[in-house]
Chain A
């Protein structure tokens, strides 16, 4: 028992750069993650921040093996999953789940909420699916009757709760949340974040929360990883990062957050 749910060593991911692909032959590759090394302790809420193109979503997708890294190791509970095939990954998928940014495009518009939440459970061959769907809806604070509704009948905040219900229904150990509140109004944003916070506590989850919004991250996360152009520029406990940001880029990021306060003058 290492106490770490994830251990990453020198993780590298690259994508082919199709804009520079010659007519014949392979496209040159762009390095998106340039050798990341860090651990995620069990029960931690890790915030991952960075600008667009910093590689934060790519990192998230590598963690739950939606993409395969070029090199380096991703150890999940001691097992290196970096190059496992889909058959070996399937039993593990139950243990790491994802909540997506846009609840409209990540919920099948032609299926009812109940079917959407049940989907991953069917894939995993679980029994008593009906009961588990009800339980998941209870946990995210939606009425059980919502199982019969379609996504378009729900508000943005309610849809995002369905996304959360689908992820927690499998009782995973780890959840990846990629910009899950950036499409919501401040009020629904607050509700969804409060829900996530209490679920993490109640279920003893480990959470990686990707966001560009440091205000949101401050409230939710115990540790923050700052990415810039595919590299970790800062990895610090939340209070330390805000009290004494070390990296130049972290300071730039903090200065760029518009506080709801006219005292903070920019121009």
Chain B
């Protein structure tokens, strides 16, 4: 059974503008599903909806989020927070803004264990040291006492990965975790996330705009445009035969250094118009159904 099951999820701005249009997706235990789209497609919004951290101006207006078979919306806010805190973790995009600059690294890794799971501080510190070793940080006891600005971008991202895995979550949402890193570090971090995910059997929802990264880390992917799923398939099938015209255009726009001639084709206006048309037709159908 899927660990995370999102069904017909609708998120709107408070003024009614739709951000997510009946999005459905599943992530199995041990599966990596990539969530792909251009900026504004709503891919981060899905992660935020699952974590219950939608921005103030956005509202969940329909559908269900099932975590381990349990509908999160049916729980009290407190119970929901507890459930999410214990079972789900986030690896954020920017490792600098995600760490508090005025606190040492150690407590920032152990906070979740102490505050949400009620561990003793000393136990949590032991666990944090183990984890920092697991993410290949040299001299973890020294790093625990360091401030974020004393560490490199790659180190900071390793710390956030360690802290995401700290409470043994069953689901991790990674929101563009390597976008701020350069390619050689990106490769190391992707390998680390992949190794940790496999060792711990975690379900991983991996938000990215980079189809190159998708082909390295994910088994399945969901392509979004304007908050609507345009294609959901497995990675092998997607790269061999992308079914939707928009997916094909996105793939053609992704540069590929081994093939200098085929790169740099912007998504054609006709494809944008077609997919916009689909979205409009979908909206019309929904509002028609709503009136009936």
Contact = CB atoms under 8 A, between A and B. Distances in A.
Interface of A: 19, 51-52, 156, 185-191, 193-194, 212-216, 218-219, 242, 252-262, 264, 266-267
Contacts of B74: none
Nearest to B186: A256
Contacts of B195: 267
Most buried by B among A193, A262, A266, A267: A262
10 contacts: A186-B209, A213-B183, A215-B256, A215-B263, A218-B255, A258-B183, A258-B213, A259-B257, A260-B256, A267-B216
Nearest to B188: A256
B183 A259 contact: no
Contacts of A256: 183-184, 186-187
B279 interface: no
B77 interface: no
B211 interface: yes
Contact of B266 (A188, A219, A267): A188
Contacts of B266: 187-188, 190-191, 194
B215 interface: yes
Contact of B212 (A188, A191, A193, A258): A258
A92 B266 CA distance: 36
A25 to B, nearest CB: 22
Interface string B236-277: 100100000000011101111110100111110000000000
A113 B6 CA distance: 43
A262 B218 CA distance: 10
A52 B211 contact: no
Contacts of A258: 183, 186-187, 190, 210, 212-213, 215-216
Contact of B215 (A156, A189, A214, A261): A261
Given A212-B182, A266-B191, A260 B257 contact: no
Given A185-B38, A188-B266, A242-B257, 8 more contacts: A52-B185, A185-B209, A186-B209, A189-B253, A190-B255, A191-B266, A258-B212, A259-B258
Interface in B114-155: 150, 153
Most buried by B among A19, A213, A219, A252: A219
A267 B191 contact: yes
Interface of B: 38-39, 150, 153, 181-187, 190-191, 194-195, 209-216, 235-236, 239, 249-251, 253-258, 260, 263-267
A216 B209 contact: no
B232 to A, nearest CB: 17
Most buried by B among A186, A188, A191: A186
Nearest to A186: B253
B148 to A, nearest CB: 13
A259 B255 CA distance: 8
Given A266-B191, A267-B191, A267-B216, A261 B256 contact: yes
Contacts of A194: 264, 266
Contact of A186 (B216, B254, B258, B260): B254
Most buried by B among A188, A216, A267: A267
Given A259-B212, A266-B216, A156 B263 contact: no
A184 to B, nearest CB: 9
B39 A254 contact: no
Given A51-B185, A262-B215, A262-B236, A187 B256 contact: no
Contact of A260 (B185, B211, B249): B211
A260 B263 contact: no
Contacts of B214: 260
Contacts of A52: 153, 181-182, 185
Contacts of A260: 211-212, 214-215, 239, 251, 254, 256
Contacts of A156: 39
A168 to B, nearest CB: 20
